């Protein structure tokens, strides 16, 4: 926990899908009274669980795992209502044929792995062997490495693979089949999927958390009005075409409406039934 009078510590995922929330903060357009700490989702999850961050974006599953520790920041999340494009299973054979086969899964995203496990069990009807591995390798042509039949890829690397397949390549790094996990969830449940949420420690002073929340909402609102600027930045970072980055960012939702909450609670319900998280309830930071 932050010491009295010390700046709050705010977690940020360094993927381009966070650009719309932090873009105005990074440019000094929206002031922020906090120290920003970058990390992949699981790293931020660990730091929030240890109390070394005050407010952060975290995996949705991390909230469900320890809901009594956190307060959700209202109207702020990373969601999709259909294809997400940056969380995908790339496979050398159809997903339904992967029973007993090695599937490399991300060490960086609890939510994506939990969703993948549900899809294999309830949608594809296969029981692969899951092997923790790197999911964000920048050199895609070296995805071979450890022997496997499929790989869960997240973040900017997944977007690059997705864009290449969409551009007509029939196989990228040996993968002939691609499954967008956001789209698979939508087809299965008819609901949006919430990958990440912003939370505050319950021990963080409410006024301080509200101040950070207000800054993030203002920055998010600026970002949604300047997606073209952020898409150019994203293209420079990833090597993906600007038009593709704009389509990607435009396809994500950064709010947390009733419709998104329905998808989030359905995901949590299925995880509770599967015994993967304890039963609980959603608790929000109180309004100012």
Q: What is the pLDDT of residues 164-188, one digit of tens each?
A: 877 777 667 788 899 999 999 999 9
pLDDT recorded at residue 94: 97
pLDDT recorded at residue 137: 54
Q: Which residue has the higher pLDDT, 153 or 95?
A: 95
Structure-token pair, residue 201: 């420690």
Whether residues 179 and 220 share a domain: the answer is: no
Signed CA dihedral, 181, 182, 184, 185: sign only? positive
**Segment 126-130 mean pLDDT:** 97
Whether residues 185 and 198 share a domain: the answer is: no
Q: What is the pTM of this model?
A: 0.92
Is residue 3 one of the residues assigned to a domain? no
Q: Residue 249 and residue 207: Cα distance in Å, rounded?
A: 31
Percent of the chain with pLDDT over 90: 78
Mean pLDDT of all residues belonging to the chain: 91
Q: How confident is the model at residue 100 (pLDDT cuts 50, 70, 90)?
A: very high
- Structure confidence by residue, pLDDT tens digits, 202-250: 999 999 999 999 999 999 999 999 999 999 999 999 989 999 999 999 9
Q: Which residue has the higher pLDDT, 2 or 188?
A: 188
Residue 136, pLDDT above cutoff 90: no
Residue 143, pLDDT above cutoff 80: no
Whether residues 185 and 200 share a domain: the answer is: no
Whether residues 214 and 148 share a domain: the answer is: no
Residue 197, pLDDT above cutoff 50: yes
Q: Which CATH number covers residue 51?
A: 3.40.190.10
Is residue 42 one of the residues assigned to a domain? yes
Is residue 250 one of the residues assigned to a domain? yes
Whether residues 75 and 92 share a domain: the answer is: no
Looking at 140, 162, 189, the residue that finishes a domain is 189
Q: Residue 85 and residue 89: Cα distance in Å, rounded?
A: 10
Q: Residue 97 and residue 105: Cα distance in Å, rounded?
A: 17
Residue 200, pLDDT above cutoff 60: yes
Residue 140, pLDDT above cutoff 60: no
Supply the DSSP symbol for 276.
S
Determine the structural domain holding residue 96 and report its residue range: 87-189
Supply the DSSP symbol for 279.
-
Whether residues 113 and 178 share a domain: the answer is: yes
Is residue 245 one of the residues assigned to a domain? yes
pLDDT recorded at residue 218: 98
pLDDT recorded at residue 139: 46
Query: How many domains does the structure of the chain reveal?
Result: 2
Least confident segment among 17-21, 160-164, 184-188? 160-164
Whether residues 244 and 202 share a domain: the answer is: yes
């Amino acid at each position: 926990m932050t010491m009295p009078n010390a700046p709050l510590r705010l977690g940020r995922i360094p993927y381009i899908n966070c650009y719309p929330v932090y873009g105005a903060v990074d440019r000094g357009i929206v002031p922020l009274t906090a120290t920003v700490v970058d990390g992949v989702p699981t790293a931020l999850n660990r730091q929030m669980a240890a109390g070394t961050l005050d407010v952060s974006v975290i995996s949705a599953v991390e909230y469900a795992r320890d809901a009594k520790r956190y307060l959700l920041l209202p109207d702020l999340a990373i969601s999709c209502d259909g294809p997400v494009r940056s969380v995908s299973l790339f496979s050398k054979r159809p997903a339904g044929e992967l029973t007993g086969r090695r599937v490399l899964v991300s060490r960086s995203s609890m939510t994506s792995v939990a969703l993948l496990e549900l899809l294999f069990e309830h949608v594809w009807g296969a029981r692969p062997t899951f092997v923790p591995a790197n999911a964000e390798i920048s050199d895609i042509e070296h995805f071979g490495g450890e022997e496997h039949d499929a790989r869960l890829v997240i973040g900017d690397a997944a977007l690059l693979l997705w864009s290449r397949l969409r551009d007509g390549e029939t196989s990228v790094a040996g993968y002939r089949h691609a499954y967008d996990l956001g789209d698979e969830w939508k087809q299965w449940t008819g609901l949006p999927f919430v990958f990440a949420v912003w939370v505050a420690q319950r021990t963080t002073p409410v006024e301080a958390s509200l101040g950070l929340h207000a800054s993030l909402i203002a920055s998010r609102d600026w970002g949604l009005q300047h997606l073209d600027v952020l898409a150019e930045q994203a293209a420079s970072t990833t090597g993906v075409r600007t038009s593709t980055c704009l389509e990607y960012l435009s396809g994500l939702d950064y709010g947390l409406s009733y419709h998104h909450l329905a998808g989030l609670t359905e995901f949590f319900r299925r995880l509770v039934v599967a015994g993967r998280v304890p039963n609980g309830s959603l608790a929000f930071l109180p309004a100012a």
